[in-house]
Structure 1
Amino acid sequence: MLPTTTTHNKRNLWLDMTKGACCAAIVWHHLAFYGPMSDVAAQVTPGIIDWLAEYARIAVQIFLVMGGFLSAASLAPQGVARFGSPLAKIGQRALRLLAPYSVALLLAVLIAALVRPWFAHDSVPAEPTWQQLIANALMLQDISGEDALSAGVWYVAIDFQLFAAVTLLFAWSRRWARQWLGLQLGQWVVLALTAMSLLVFNRHSELDMWFVYFIGAYGMGMLAFWGSQSAKPWSWTACLLALGLVSLEVDFRLRIAVALCGAVALLWLTRLPHDSRLVDWLGRQATVRWLQSLGQMGYSVFLVHFSIVVLCNAVVSHVWPSQPWLNWLGMGLAFALSLLAGRALYLGVEARTPSLRSVARWELGLVGGGLLVTLVGARLSM
């Protein structure tokens, strides 16, 4: 999910375009899942709303695959760690995640406080407690049993867990930097963890707050990267297909089928020559350029869009409580405003190099702002 800092070159066209499409799918999923606009709009287009609410969320699996793909490219492109201190690497990742994350959660707290007095709906979070604020600030809300301050923030915590786990894995395995049957030790461990997740961990929903539940899709993304760089891509493709098909035979899960297809597609699409006619033609299309741009700022859009959805739901349901097409218009407006808010967050926070001081300031602002909202709410209710 976290975008890379590379520019829009042909090498990244497929990644950015796919991230953009998946980001749009997640925003529309939440627009359909969290009413009341979608409840009213469903009166005229029930099939579309139901599909978005049920299936658009599967795009998260593609995010997981791409996350693994990019982690392998960054951490161990040859299967051996190419970074120095693992703790420094993990710390850098935490700063990049937390800077826009804390800003987006502070916005979520403020918008919820704004609409709560006049918009009674399950999608509006309750006034936060100090325990909830601290747990969310540290990305520990699911592990600690606290409610999330915004939809989708669970993914940020899982993304960090996955990155930290594979970073430590490669740091540990590089002391035995030797090949066995053509693979480095770290690659064998990734392969084993991927298989264990697909066959065991991912079948137990009570584990969905831990990285082991998701490393099946993430690991397939890592394998896809190594396959895209290999002289024997068919061997890596066969490995992916064997892992995926066996796990689906044991227990069919649509999310794993989508992740498998995404990993295989990513392996082969990124092997296309940089100057291929297809890549050149796609790069000139307005829709593709728009998706590329959305893909680069996708993390910020993902973080901030739920607050915009809640705000638009509150306003539209108050002004047009029963007009289906006007509620569809409201959903479209919420989507557009989500992209604009995401772009502002991207340019103002995410695209800048974060420092420990700036992240600490935003984290303290989140906790302090949340406590202030709770105190003001308690005083007004007296």
Structure 2
Amino acid sequence: MSAPNPTGAGGERLMFIDLLKAVGAQFIVLHHLAFYGPMSDWTHRLAPDLVTWFSQDARMAVQVFLVVAGFLAARSLAPGAVPRPMPFMAQLGQRYVRTALPYIAALLVAIVCTELARRWMAHGTVSAPPELWQFVSHALLLHTLLDVDSLSAGVWYVAIDFQLYAALLGLLWLARRLPASSAWVMALPVIVVAASLFHFNLDSDWDSWALYFFGAYGLGALTYWATHNDEAWRTGRWLLGALVAMTLTALAIDFRERIALALTVCVALACSQRKGWLFTWPRSRVVAYFSRISYAVFLLNFPIALVVNAWFTRYGSHDPFTQTAGVLLAWVACNVAGALFFHWVELPLGRLKLRRKVAVALPAGVGPVEKN
């Protein structure tokens, strides 16, 4: 997804996070394929339990991305729990450019794919032609807050991810301006995590706002700060224990599978960081590659699947086996399209951003920013 690339200060891969991102992205693709018909309606006749699980439960993979995004954001914004001395708007602007440029390009692809699908089928998954304000609100990542009809499935997450990053950045900015700022770096996120777990996440009316999701995201950030080195771990183990106890209390009050999953991922990340296999397992180029293209696959999977659905609806035989073959073809096509988009669009846009960052940052006396 839109979390920063999982690389360390020395350029080494965070292999366990690669695994989480690679697998999580595939679950999201399969969720969309199962949830949005019409091909999956035929597949349901062959494997009803499997299709139902993917359509209803696989979406919880989003919680994995929320925790990983928080973990990597903390690692990037405040390595060693010390906020980087960069202007708030400069860091937020860098995040917007990095997230939004490939996202906007993907929206244009989605619009084209929707028009192509409209020629082949009439179905509820084919949205109406976009209006200018609808596209602008998406490009500004305001569509969830303004309750604008979505141009593609899953793009709500991109807006929420940006909100969460801005919220964490704002908390770090505030902590630097308070007395005993080093203590507030972690205290402020703990307060907001508690508010999310015990109040905002209990009310679905808040699900267009970062506060609804900050429980999982903040747990990821705090897990990084509590476990990043031996010195931090001396006190961090007590922080991590308190976070686990607080989350279990919130679950006892109102059990939510998504929060239980987020807590499980946090514990796994803590163990991987302390035991060292965050950097060493699994050693797989395939997993690393699917992690690198995960954001591109996420952005394009729905429009590509929509076109395949439309083609099979128009030209394929209306029987379970043919339509299930279409589902499998769509799964492959989503990954191929994501890989092509990553190499031809996301990487070139990333290099453009990097050149701009160097040109602006160096005259201002700011050193290179670690790419995480």
* TM-score > 0.5, shorter chain as reference: yes
Q: 1:269 to 1:10 in 2, by over 3 A?
A: farther
What does residue 17 of structure 1 align with? 19
Task: Tell me which residue corresponds to 2:305.
Answer: 309
Number of the residue aligned with 2:246: 243
The aligned residue for residue 378 of structure 1 is none
Identify the residue that residue 257 of structure 1 maps to in structure 2.
260
With over 3 angstroms needed to count, the CA separation of the structure-2 counterparts of 1:90 and 1:275, relative to structure 1, is closer
One-letter code of the match for 2:191? A
Work out the CA distance in 1 between the residues paired with 2:122 and 2:32: 18
| 1:29 corresponds to | 31
| 2:16/2:277 contact within 8 Å kept | no
By how many angstroms is 1:272 displaced?
2.4
CA distance in 2, matches of 1:311, 1:331: 11
Residue 124 of structure 1 aligns to a residue in which SS? Answer: coil
| Residue in structure 1 matched with residue 177 of structure 2 by the alignment | 175
Cα distance in structure 2, aligned partners of 1:275 and 1:300:
23
Which residue does the alignment assign to 2:370? none
TM-score w.r.t. the length of structure 1 is 0.86
**Cα distance in structure 1, aligned partners of 2:179 and 2:79:** 13
The equivalent residue for 2:365 is: none
CA distance in 2, matches of 1:271, 1:10: 17
Q: How does 1:212-361 map to 2 (within 5 A)?
A: 212-229=211-228, 230-232=232-234, 233-273=236-276, 279=280, 282-283=282-283, 288-352=284-348, 353=350, 355=352
| Aligned 1:73-222 pairs, distance under 5 A | 73-176=75-178, 178=180, 184-222=183-221
Q: Distance in 2 between matches of 1:240 and 1:25?
A: 27
The Cα of 1:273 is off from its aligned counterpart by 2.8
Q: Deviations over 1:107-155 (max 9, x none)?
A: 1101111121331111111111122111112111121121010000000
Alignment of 1:36-55 (within 5 A): 36-55=38-57
Separation in 2, partners of 1:195, 1:354:
38
Contact map agreement 1:11 1:270 (CA 8 A) in 2: no
The alpha carbon displacement at 1:345 in A equals: 1.5
Q: Residue by residue, what CA displacement relative to the aligned partner does 1:282-340 show, whole Å, maximum 9, x if unpaired?
A: 31xxxx43222111111111001111110010111223342212222211111111111
Q: 1:143 to 1:114 in 2, by over 3 A?
A: same
Q: 1:78 to 1:177 in 2, by over 3 A?
A: farther
TM-score by length of 2: 0.88
Give the Cα separation in 2 of the matches to 1:17 and 1:90: 27
Question: Counterpart of 1:308 in structure 2: which amino acid?
Answer: I
Q: CA deviation at 1:7?
A: 5.0
Quote the Cα distance in structure 2 between the aligned partners of 1:164 and 1:202: 18
Deviation of the 1:20 alpha carbon: 0.4
The Cα shift of 1:177 comes to: 6.1
d(CA) in 2 for partners of 1:39, 1:290:
31
* TM-aligned CA distance change 1:82 to 1:125, over 3 Å: same
SS at match of 2:120: coil
Aligned-partner Cα distance in 2 for 1:261–1:344: 33
Q: What 5-or-longer segments of structure 1 have no aligned partner? A: 360-382
* 1:249 counterpart letter in structure 2: A
| Conservation of the 8 A alpha-carbon contact between 2:43 and 2:323 | yes
> Which residue type is aligned with residue 74 of structure 1?
S
**8 Å Cα contact 1:16-1:295 kept in structure 2:** yes
Offset of residue 6 of structure 1: 5.6
Q: Please list the CA deviations of residues 329-369 of structure 1 after superposition, one character each: whole Å capped at 9, or x if unmatched.
A: 2111111111111111111222233658x99xxxxxxxxxx
AA partner of residue 33 (structure 2):
L
Q: Distance in 1 between matches of 2:41 and 2:249?
A: 39
| Structure 2 CA distance for partners of 1:239 and 1:105, relative to 1, 3 Å | same
Structure 2 Cα separation of the partners of residues 126 and 66 of structure 1: 34
Partner AA of 1:208 in structure 2: D
CA gap of 1:168–1:7, structure 2 versus 1, over 3 A, is closer
Q: What is the number of residues matched between the two proteins?
A: 348
Assess if the C-alpha contact under 8 Å between 2:17 and 2:278 holds in 1: no
Q: Matches of 2:347 and 2:128 in 1, distance apart? A: 31
Contact 1:80 1:174 in 2 (8 A): no
The worse-fitting range, judged by mean Cα deviation, of 59-68 and 141-150 is: 141-150
SS in 2 for 1:235: helix
1:165 Cα deviation from its structure 2 partner: 1.3
Is the 1:80–1:184 contact (alpha carbons within 8 Å) kept by the matching residues of 2?
Answer: no
Deviation at 1:186, TM superposition (A): 2.0
Distance in 1 between residues matched to 2:295 and 2:139, nearest whole Å: 17
Q: Deviations over 1:44-77 (max 9, x none)?
A: 1101100000110000001000010001101112
SS in structure 2 of the partner of residue 351 of structure 1: helix
1:3–1:348 CA distance, 2 compared to 1 (3 A): farther
What is the deviation of 1:210? Answer: 0.6
Relative to 1, partners in 2 of residues 1:25 and 1:260: Cα closer, same or farther, differing over 3 Å? same
Distance 1:245 1:61, change over 3 A: same
Identity of matched residues, %: 38
RMSD (Å), alpha carbons: 2.1
